[in-house]
Structure 1
Amino acid sequence: MSVHDQAVAAVLSQLALAADGAVLGIALAYVAVRSILKFTANSSALHKIRDAPSVRVSDLRSLVSLSGDDADNSDRSDGEKLVIVRGVVEAKSAVDVNWKSLRRNVLISNESGEKGVVLLRTQTCIYNEWRGFFGWTSDLRSLFGRSWKEQGSSSLRTVPFILVEGGRWPQSDYVIVNMDGSRQPLPLTIVYHHLQPINATPYTFLQALFGHEYPVGLLDEEKILQLGKDITAVGMCSLKNETPEIRSCKDLPYFLSDMTKDQMVVDLAFKTNVLLCSGVVLGSLAVGILGYAAVRNWNRWKAWRQLRQVQQQNAAANNEADSQTVAEDEETGDVQDGELCVICLMRRRRSAFIPCGHLVCCQRCAQSVEREVAPKCPVCRQTIRNSVRIYDS
């Protein structure tokens, strides 16, 4: 692991363990929710594909016609029915009855000469990175530079095509494939693959010197959907001008695929089980981590609050002690002999005994006399009940 990768890992670990793992718990909860949502979508797609009829191209017309008459069919929408049909790819121009049918409308690979109905050409620039003499600059770019790298460009071309049955078919036994709005992956075949090295330039040397990424090769690829390929179409089928047409269903992960219906069911069932298990496990971990973080932070808050209360009490006690000290300093200041306490002979007389009313003691000595078993006035020896502090006006 390089230095900048270690730095990124350290930063991510510190962020994940922040607040006693609360950030990590939230991230796991997000992943768990995403897993549960994907599980729900895959489970729904699994039930739809499992219940969808698998028919031949020649049976589509009668099946869609019957579904259009069935008002209780839950899969029907404006005469559409979810079906699974397997057939062979053929250009639509082969069945068009007009003068254009004399020339088939197909796509031809520029490099291999293969014929198809879908042509995907991609150019990917491959980068390399040497840390160079000033490679420390890549550590600063490592957090952001990954998203700046341009991978390449691609172009997708399609022509109208159909699926026929077994390569021999009357003109009525075919289904038109509608690619509008399709986002599912296509079963394309690589017909051209070439990696061309890029010659180094003085600018490339400067990029390498300062630790920047520099291009080392250009990868050209061509993928096509070949004529005569046996594929499976999963989608909504309807009659357009008395001709069956199938289009993709956005709720399904498949549209055109090399797999059969049984293979799709097995694949979706496996993905559904994995998503369910991952959602449950990650959700349990998220709940445990968030609960631990909540308890830890709650205990920290309670400890902080108790410490705050103790600090406030200590501050109040210190203020009271300071005030008492100031008061005692005032009481033990310049006091005349006739105003001194008769017990300690240090502080000013401030407390009068009840019921005798003698003002002969300071407040501290008066409280000491009150705490005796049989409190009596030190002057008249009369039993006292309590004392009261006397303030000068």
Structure 2
Amino acid sequence: MSSHDRAAAAVFAQVALAADGAVIGIALAYVAVQSWFKFNTTSSALHKIRRAPVVRVSDLRSLIASSSDDNNTSDESELAVGKLVVVRGIVEAKSAVDGNWRSLRPNILVSHESGERAVVLQRTQTCIYNEWRGLFGWTSDLRTLFARSWKEQESTSFRTVPFILVEAGQWPHSDYVIVNLDGSRHPLPLTTVYHQLQPVHASPYTFLQALFGHEYPVSIVNEIYVCLGDFVTVGLLDEEKILPIGKEISAVGICSTQDGGSEIKSCKDLPYFLSDMTKDQMVVDLAFRSKVLLWSGILLGSLSFGILGYAIVRNWSRWKEWRQQRQVQRSSDAAAAAAAEIGDEEAGDAPDGELCVICLMRRRRSAFVPCGHLVCCQGCALSVERESAPKCPVCRQTIRTSIRIYGS
């Protein structure tokens, strides 16, 4: 670890431990609240998937029809309401069941590298480069703390064709369910068919190649341009993932009728849509997640509560000490001001009957309330008032305050 990284870590530790750990306590409380929200979402998804029936593709129409009969809805428009189900089937291109001249040329995707047929094709090109230190290294420290993702920049192309799920071993595919990916942000069970890391040594010649049409990511050009001679070693990671035809997957979503056929769409409240797992595996995975989120929320919440409680007690005690010191300082300042105001004029010659009964040096200037005895100078009167149980030195009566008496 360099000196800049150690300095950044020291600053981060000081900020985290500020106010006796209150910052850490607040951060842990935030994470605990997020864990609790995720636990509620995961528990709800687990409950829904447990209740969802596992059906075959051929039974979907009868299931939707029986569901609509139970709801006493005979109108065909009501069939689009749908029902949450778990369907397991084989991936097939929709063009295979269209039944027209287009089926002679099936609408499928072909992998550029492996040549396999697929319905989903995703190509990713990631630029991996050593970070530029910048002026005095501060750029690296900022990236280390706030933007580690800057070290990798990727460009992704995603292509799909309409596809369906059919039952295994059934031909022709008379019963099928159309998979609707519109609005779905769930991860797809893609298979990696190509993976290659190609090192590239950035140089002025590389920059010229990029300018004249060589297929390098824009991030390489920008990095070389910014470095201005301080070039870095760049690596290009090419990946290709597909959803191949013939793969068996599970679809979890809302199934409804669409144009006389069955269609399944994703449910935003569920973490799965298309998955390699079966329903039982999904239930086990969600149950494990919910337990981890629950106990992590309880643990982090208890820890944050303890840290925040300790920080509150410590800061409250410090505030009380500061307040007491402030009061003592004000009293000292008032006494010093009073002594300065008294000055040398009261330290002069005075009859014995007019001298303070405590210091026997200054004139009597302050009368006690409520007894009214004029027996002390202003400085000694203030000292008597600051006592825990102030009493008049003559009559020993409890006093509240003193009043300075000015002679004519």
TM-score for the superposition, normalised by structure 2? 0.77
The verdict on how the C-alpha distance between 1:256 and 1:350 changes in structure 2, with shifts beyond 3 A counting, is closer
Question: How far apart are 1:342 and its partner, in Å?
Answer: 6.5
Conserved 8 A contact 2:80-2:257: no
Residues 83, 237 of structure 1: 8 Å contact kept: yes
**1:190-243 alpha-carbon deviations (Å, 9 max, x no partner):** 111122221341599x97999978342111111000000000000000011221
Deviations 1:311-354 (A, max 9, x none): 1111122222333444514xx26x8xxxx456879988999xxx
Q: CA contact under 8 A between 2:114 and 2:194: conserved in structure 1?
A: yes
Given the superposition, is the C-alpha separation of residues 319 and 36 from structure 1 closer, same or farther in structure 2, using an over 3 Å criterion? same
Which residue number corresponds to residue 237 of structure 2? 219
Task: Show CA shifts across 1:77-97 (max 9, x none).
Answer: 953100001000000000002
- 1:26 corresponds in structure 2 to 26
After TM superposition, the runs of 4+ consecutive aligned structure 1 residues lying more than 4 A away are: 129-137, 206-213, 340-351, 362-365, 370-373, 389-392
2:309 to 288, 291, 299: 291
Q: Equivalent residue of 2:325, what SS?
A: helix
Q: Could you say if the C-alpha distance between residues 159 and 228 of structure 1 is closer, same or farther in structure 2, counting changes exceeding 3 Å?
A: same
The residue that corresponds to 2:43 in the other structure is 43
Residue matched to 1:92: 94
SS of 1:280's partner is helix
Quote the offset at 1:132 in angstroms.
Answer: 11
Amino acid across the alignment from 2:31: V
3-state SS in 2 of match to 1:198:
strand
Q: Which SS does the other structure have where 1:6 is aligned?
A: helix
State the SS of the aligned residue for 2:99.
coil
Structure 2 stretches of 5 or more lacking a match? 207-222, 367-373, 381-391, 396-403
- Structure 1: 5+ residue stretches without partners: 352-361, 374-388
1:36-90 Cα offsets, whole Å, 9 max, x none, are: 00000000000111110001111111001111222299xx995310000100000
* Structure 2 partner of 1:267: 285
C-alpha displacement at 1:14, in angstroms?
Answer: 1.3
Query: Which of 301, 312, 324 in structure 2 is aligned with 1:306?
Result: 324
CA–CA distance in structure 1, aligned partners of residues 336 and 375 of structure 2 = 20
Give the structure 1 partner of residue 123 of structure 2: 121
Tell me, what secondary structure is at the counterpart of 2:27? helix
CA distance, structure 1, for counterparts of residue 7 and residue 205 of structure 2: 28
Q: SS state of the match for residue 50, structure 1?
A: helix
2:174 aligned partner = 172
Tell me how far apart the structure 2 counterparts of residues 303 and 31 of structure 1 sit (CA, whole Å). Answer: 33
Instruction: After TM superposition, list the pairs within 5 Å mapping 1:49-60 onto structure 2.
Output: 49-60=49-60
Could you say which residue in structure 1 is the equivalent of 2:214? none
Match of 1:228 in 2: 246
Indicate conservation of the 8 Å contact 2:193/2:241, yes or no.
yes
**Contact 1:46–1:265 (CA under 8 A) maintained in structure 2:** yes
Q: Which residue of 2 aligns with 1:110?
A: 112
Distance across 1 between alignment mates of 2:99 and 2:120 = 22
The residue that corresponds to 2:369 in the other structure is none
Displacement of 1:136 after TM fit? 7.5
Distance, in Å, in 2 between the alignment partners of 1:242 and 1:141 is: 55
Secondary structure of 1:245's aligned partner? strand
Alpha-carbon offset, residue 246 of structure 1:
0.3
* Alignment deviations for residues 257-290 of structure 1 (CA, whole Å, 9 cap, x no partner): 0001110010111111000010000000111111
Following superposition of structure 1 onto structure 2, how do residues 1-393 of structure 1 map, counting pairs within 5 Å? 1-71=1-71, 78-128=80-130, 138-139=140-141, 142-143=144-145, 146-201=148-203, 214-329=232-347, 332=348, 340-341=351-352, 392-393=407-408
Taking the aligned partners of 2:393 and 2:40, their CA distance within structure 1 comes to 78
- For the pair shown, the structure with the greater C-alpha radius of gyration is 1
Corresponding residue pairs, total: 357
Separation (CA, whole Å) in 2 of partners of 1:168 and 1:392: 119
On the 8 A contact 2:202/2:232 being kept in 1, the answer is no
- Determine helix, strand or coil for the equivalent of 1:254: coil
Which residue of structure 2 aligns with residue 354 of structure 1? none
Identity of aligned residues (%): 67
Task: Determine helix, strand or coil for the equivalent of 2:71.
Answer: coil
Aligned to 2:216: none
Partner of 1:383: none
TM value normalised by structure 1: 0.80
Aligned to 1:378: none
- In the TM superposition, residue 150 of structure 1 has moved relative to its aligned partner by 4.7
